[in-house]
Amino acid sequence: MEKDVLKKIEVLTASAKYDISCASSGTTRKSQPGKLGSTSGWGICHSFTEDGRCVSLLKIMLTNYCIFDCAYCINRKSNDIPRTALTPQELIDLTMEFYRRNYIEGLFISSGIMRNPDYTMERMLKVVKDLRTVHRFNGYIHMKSIPGASRELVQEAGLYADRLSVNIEIPTEQNLKLLAPDKSYESIYRPMGYIQQGVLESAEERRKYRSAPRFAPAGQSTQMIVGATSENDQTILGLSAALYQRQGMKRVYYSGYIPINNDRRLPVVKEAPLVRENRLYQADWLMRFYQFGVNEIVDEQHPNLDLDIDPKLSWALRHPEAFPVDVNTADYAQILRIPGIGVKSAQLIVASRKYSRLTAQSLAKIGVVMKRAQYFITCHELPMYTIHEATPGYLRELLSEKRTDALPQQLYFPFSQSVVV
Amino acid sequence: MNVFFYDKSFEGLLSAVFDAYARKKFPDLLLEKGDVPPLLVEYSHEVVTCPEKTERVWSGLRKKLPKLVLTQLTYAWLSETAGSDEVIFRYIRKAFDKPHCIATDFNDEDVLSLKKLTQKVSKEVQYLAMFIRFQRMADGIYFAPVAPVYNVLPLATGHLVDRFSDQRWIVYDEGRKYGYYYNQKTVMEMALDDESSLQNGRLREDLMAGDEKLFQDLWKRYFKTLTIKERMNRKLQRQHMPQRYWKYITEKQ
């Protein structure tokens, strides 16, 4: 391997790092004779960067040359940055050698767009195919599907990759058109549809023949940039909820907008909207693991998530009539809605209450955050000071996370005044 | 106070359970043979570890408890923390005495402690899967020194065999001075006669394969570039990746 790969890896990693997804989860595959590697269902993180993000895959671009000019992207063609490309063999060697040293779970391959979407897809596909067939690599592969790629290529990719993804980037088409004139919702949703169809067809086939090939067994994911455009949280979460209805959509990632480029179409921000991003993830979790509907989290009266308190507490304070919940009799779904009780403690409560009555003390031992939960539960002990006595307004004051920055976040930036060229 | 002395092995502990039921005397304190007993001892008994007793207790447990809990008992044993044997003893006793299966009665102190002990140990196993870093030696063997808090090397080899089935490797516990060698067929226990081949958690440079340094540099460079400066959060990094592992993690060396 040449020494100049050091330089290339630096340039191409810098180009790829803004893609949030680095999960290696969603599929379990045991080792096979003569092949290298395995995948584990929950995914394994191998390292954590100084910004606290998990490093699970070798996340890198095949090239950062790009013919598109998207305002939010570091690799847009009008940017003056060093450009380079890895040869397929170099990327394969890096993946194999890193994997053998237990640095990574696999490869996350992405690319700038060369010539046209299909040409780019073919180049990426070659790497992935060689890894699987020539080098007998059995680890995890996440492949980016290029917007506008053709059906045949997406279908072939699904046979080799564990996960495919197409990024939506901007939650409304109108704003996408504004920031990324080369993209359209059609060019994004069409490959998504191909993936979805592939997953469905393969599931159908496998019902008939156990040996039928699996298509992208870890499903697909997508990413949205938050705070670069004027969409409120209701629009964003509404879109996520719709996406999760689709077959095989495993994750929607939210990426707080970081000003990389100077562009008149983009807002000026002091810092990335990290708190808002965090709240969106919490809301996402509520939809996926806590049996919340999107309309319960945000609605017309509350189109944006509360930045001071988490969305679950926020729902509880808006619905005092649902509390207090008796932990000894209420069903699982109700217990899940108590602030301070997560999925794990809810399961422990349901499992252990059939043996003996749970008390406030035993709840604390199990791992319930009583600081929050005490106002929302009853366990047939002494009368407790619940949300009805304390009032939602007071609880909001009491339980909100004290943030050090007094300045308004980017959330409230007046978009209507921004200049549109 | 009832005191039992045993040889601090898992088999010994199970034999102690057998003896306790045979004598209808249950220990308040479990000590290793040779330990100094407390001042006031009402009844003291020295357990002789015996395979038949062990087997009978274990097969009794198999009838009483789901498989997962049996694994939990061995995990809790491997935690090697003070008092973990007493938790296991009390757990087994409850499992035998209660008419129903106690596996999910987390309101019970011992059931909850066993769960927590197991969690700690399996977290450590996970850490191994995450943070082991192999270095390629000149003879083609991949070598990884580690120093886990609990004695979890035997629990981690399964994952490593599955994953790196087509390469020869060694994981070595620097604290406990033993390791496992895998020769592409079987795993065997080994120990290093001479630890001078290790320096600060890494292989001496003259023992490394020719391109090992290059790949380490490539990985370090990759890791460094991946950070987004605008999102710096070192506290979160330390939370996910405990500092005690940094000595062995290539990119943090």
**Cα–Cα distance for residue pair B22/B29, rounded to 1 Å:** 18
**Cα–Cα distance for residue pair A163/A242, rounded to 1 Å:** 20
ipTM field = 0.91
B52 plus B138 within the same structural domain: no
B53 plus B113 within the same structural domain: yes
Distance from CA of B121 to the nearest CA of A (A): 17
Q: Does B248 touch chain A (CB under 8 A)?
A: no
Q: Who among B218, B221, B241 is closest to A48 (CB)?
A: B241
**Cα–Cα distance for residue pair A267/B188, rounded to 1 Å:** 61
Hey, are the CB atoms on B223 and A271 less than 8 Å from each other?
no
Q: What share of chain A is helix, strand, coil (3-state, %, to 5)?
A: 40, 10, 50
B116 plus B155 within the same structural domain: no
From B123, B152, B183, give the residue that closes a domain. B123
Q: Does A271 touch chain B (CB under 8 A)?
A: yes
Place of tokens 């549109």: A420
Hey, are the CB atoms on A51 and B219 less than 8 Å from each other?
no
Distance from CA of B77 to the nearest CA of A (A): 22
Query: First CA to last CA across chain B, in angstroms?
Result: 52
**Cα–Cα distance for residue pair A178/A420, rounded to 1 Å:** 9
A106 dihedral zone (left: phi>0; alpha: psi -120 to 50; beta): left
B119 plus B147 within the same structural domain: no
Structural contact between residues A373 and A338, judged by C-beta atoms closer than 8 angstroms: yes
From B92, B123, B154, give the residue that closes a domain. B123
The predicted pLDDT at position B136 comes to 94
B82 plus B168 within the same structural domain: no
The predicted pLDDT at position A405 comes to 52
B248 plus B159 within the same structural domain: yes
B95 plus B201 within the same structural domain: no
Host H or E run for residue B47: none
Place of tokens 């609990």: B150
Amino acid identity of residue A190, one-letter, is R
Is the four-CA dihedral B154, B156, B159, B161 of positive or negative sign? negative
Residues of A in contact with B137 (CB under 8 A): none
The predicted pLDDT at position A412 comes to 47
Q: Who among A44, A51, A362 is closest to B231 (CB)?
A: A51
B119 plus B148 within the same structural domain: no
B181 plus B91 within the same structural domain: no
The predicted pLDDT at position B207 comes to 87
**Cα–Cα distance for residue pair A395/A421, rounded to 1 Å:** 46
Backbone angles phi, psi at A312, to 5 degrees: -70, -45
B6 lies in which domain range? 2-123
Structural contact between residues A341 and A373, judged by C-beta atoms closer than 8 angstroms: yes
CA angle A406–A411–A415, rounded 5-degree value:
125
pLDDT per residue rounded down to tens, chain B (253 residues): 899 999 999 999 999 999 999 999 999 999 998 889 888 889 999 999 999 999 999 999 999 999 999 999 999 999 989 999 999 999 999 999 999 889 999 999 999 999 999 999 999 999 999 999 999 999 999 999 999 999 999 999 999 999 999 999 999 999 899 999 999 999 999 998 877 888 887 888 888 888 999 999 999 999 999 998 888 899 999 999 999 999 999 998 8
Strand locations in A175-326 (E):
220-226, 249-256, 325-326
Q: Does A5 touch chain B (CB under 8 A)?
A: yes
**Cα–Cα distance for residue pair A97/A101, rounded to 1 Å:** 7
User: What residue ranges define each of the domains in chain A, with the CATH number in brackets?
Assistant: 5-218 (3.20.20), 311-399 (no CATH)
Helix (H, G, I), strand (E, B) or coil at B187: strand
B238 plus B142 within the same structural domain: yes
Q: Tokens at residue A257, please?
A: 């907008």
Place of tokens 């993936």: A195
B173 plus B243 within the same structural domain: yes
Q: Who among B131, B162, B228 is closest to A31 (CB)?
A: B162
Residues of B in contact with A365 (CB under 8 A): 109, 112
Query: How many residues can be counted in chain A?
Result: 421
Compute CA distances A357 → A135, A362, A371, A385, B104, whole Å: 58, 9, 21, 20, 14
From B69, B104, B123, give the residue that closes a domain. B123
The predicted pLDDT at position A419 comes to 44
Host H or E run for residue B142: strand B142-146
Give the CA diameter of chain B.
67
What are the 10-residue block averages of pLDDT along chain A, 421 residues in total?
83 89 85 89 91 92 93 91 93 95 95 92 94 94 92 94 93 92 91 92 92 91 91 94 88 90 84 90 95 93 92 94 92 94 94 90 92 88 80 89 55 47 40
User: Could you report the per-residue pLDDT of B180-213, keeping only the tens digit for each?
Assistant: 999 999 999 999 887 788 888 788 888 888 899 9
The predicted pLDDT at position A242 comes to 93
What Rg value do the Cα atoms of chain A yield, rounded? 24
Q: Please choose, from the candidates A5, A16, A107, the residue with its C-alpha nearest in 3D space to the C-alpha of residue A64.
A: A16
Number of domains making up chain B: 2
Structural contact between residues B96 and B60, judged by C-beta atoms closer than 8 angstroms: yes
Question: CB-hemisphere CA count at 13 Å for A84?
Answer: 19
Q: Which long-range contacts (CB under 8 A, 24 or more apart) does A214-217 make?
A: A215/A155, A215/A158, A215/A159, A216/A157, A216/A158, A216/A161, A216/A162, A216/A163, A216/A164, A216/A248, A217/A26, A217/A27, A217/A29, A217/A162
Residue A18's closest chain B neighbor by CA? B228
HEC string of A325-356 equals EECCCCCHHHHHCCCCCCHHHHHHHHHHCCCC
Q: Does A42 touch chain B (CB under 8 A)?
A: no
Q: Does A247 touch chain B (CB under 8 A)?
A: no
The predicted pLDDT at position A404 comes to 55
The side-by-side arrangement of strands in the sheet containing B29-32 is B29-32, B2-6, B43-46
B238 plus B149 within the same structural domain: yes
Compute CA distances A368 → A90, A103, A355, B183, whole Å: 50, 36, 19, 47
Beta partners for A3?
Answer: none
Q: Does A404 touch chain B (CB under 8 A)?
A: no
- Using omega within 30 degrees of 0 as the cis cutoff, is the peptide bond preceding A88 cis? no
The predicted pLDDT at position A421 comes to 40
The predicted pLDDT at position A410 comes to 47
The predicted pLDDT at position A8 comes to 92
Residues of A in contact with B209 (CB under 8 A): none
Residues of B in contact with A348 (CB under 8 A): 106
Give the CA diameter of chain A.
73
